[in-house]
Each structure stands twice: as C-alpha cells, then as structure tokens.
Amino acid sequence: MASDSVTRVLLTGASSGIGLEIARLLTARGCEVWGASRDIARLPQLPRFHPVRMDLASDDSIRASFAQALREAGGFDALINNAGAGVFGPTAVVPAELTREHFQVLVHGPMELIRLALPTMRQRPRSTLINISSLAGTFPVPFMAAYSAAKAALSAFSRCLRMELAGTPLRVVDVQPGDINTPFGGSVKRVGAEAAGADRARQDTVWEAQRHEMAAAPPPQRVAEAVWRILQAENPPPVVVVGGFVQARLAPLAARLFPARWMEWVLRRFYRL
C-alpha cells in the first residue's frame, strides 16, 4: 500500500508500549491516527494524532467510541487491534471474572471492533486489518494461561477472517510479537502470590525468567516498523513474528518441525519447571 494512501488508521492501546510506538511512527510518516485508550489523559500529543476514549471491557464504549472516530475520519484504511492486558497466577486460583474480563479485552473487544469496521473498510480500494496477538499463543507462558489462550484465540480468529475475506480488498495480518521490552510487565495483575513452599517457588521462577527476558528483549519500535512494512506491502504475509532471532526465526521453525511433547519439554526447561 502506498504511503500516501494510508492516511486514516484506528489503533487501540495507543497510550504506551507497542501501541505508542506505532502511533509515533505512523504519524511521523504522514498517517492520521485515531488512537484509543481507556484513559484518554495517557494518550500522546502528536501531530496527526486524534485521541479516542475507548474501554474495550465495555461493548457500549466500543460502539460509541468507534462511531465518533468514524464520523471524524470519514473512513479507515487500517484497523490495528493492539490493546493488551495480562494476568499472572495459577489457573486454579485466578478468579473466573478476571478470566472473563481478560477475554473481553483481548478477544471479544477486538472482534466487536472488527465487526463495526468491516462494512466501511470493505468499501475502500484497499484496507488492512492487523491483529497484534502474541507468540505466547503458540508457546504458552506458565501461570499466564488466560493471556496465552486469549492470544491464541485472536490468532485463530485472524486466520478464519482472512479466509472469509479472500478475494476482497481487505487484507488480514496476525502480528505475533515475542518478548518486547515495554512496560507491559509492570501492568500485569499477579494473583496467587501468597502461595507457600514449592508452589510459590515455581511461580517466582517463571516470573523472574519472564522479567529477565523482557529486560533483554528488542524495543517496541521493532514491532512498529513491522506494522509499517505490512501497510506498505502489496500482499503482506498472513502471519508476522517479531522479536529477537531465536523467538522470531528459530522458535516458529521448531514449532513446525518438532513434536508438541518435545516443544513442551523445551519450554519447561526454559522456565525451569
């Protein structure tokens, strides 16, 4: 897609981390970005950036905010579902309402936003839907079952939608970041930390492994650049994995070549479980 035609973008989770870097890069390269966050005060003040208050935990908020943004933009060339949330803790003790909230923000909210955006996006000469899921959908993170499962669901939804829209001008791309050095870890809700003995030690081991990997991970600009390349491409790939060499290149290849039991053993060794 030529850069002069990608002028109107709707982006969720634009207040920090990957979303903030996407907003900075796209506006710097001439795009008009309607960036959404639950807390509008946290959104950046940038040229060509239009703040949108949207709470993905509420379908009413999604519908009202989308309608307002659509009126302002007159139509979107790209929708980027980026907003994220995390919860860390043993599956047996994570409250059911927290899991439901997780899936609302990471799966049901994006699906509702896509449903609202499809009619007008399909009318454009060419448009792009980018769902930013996670490599955790392929390589689940222990004690982050809800997050891993929700990201896997978003990836599956992207694949289905891509087939449904085959032959239309709307391209669907699943972007799967590996570990990226963002403030995301600081916003993860941790439950079950009061466990004692071996259970607490196992949780702490995984938590520290994740924290160490995030600190050494590539910056969020790498994901923003990948998004820009997708918008520029005539025929972008259905899945784009972003991260360090091991996660972005070797891990997806290993997942295709080796049995699931072997990959699970590798993950347990990595997390020292």
Report the C-alpha dihedral over residues 185, 188, 192, 193, rounded to 10 degrees: 40
Secondary structure of residue 8 in the 3-state scheme:
strand
Nearest to 117 by CA among 11, 204, 14, 242: 11
Alpha carbons 137 and 126: distance in angstroms, whole number: 28
CA end-to-end span of the chain: 45
**Is residue 147 among the annotated active site residues?**
yes
CA Rg, the chain, in Å?
19
Strands 78-81 and 49-53: unpaired
Task: List, in sequence order, the alpha helices (H) in 36-127.
Answer: 59-73, 96-103, 109-121
Alpha carbons 23 and 49: distance in angstroms, whole number: 8
Count CB-CB contacts under 10 A for residue 251. 19
Residue matched to tokens 């579902």: 81
User: Which tokens is 91 given?
Assistant: 């599956």
User: Which tokens is 195 given?
Assistant: 């466990």
Q: Which of 66, 88, 147, 184 is catalytic?
A: 147
Return the active site residues: 147
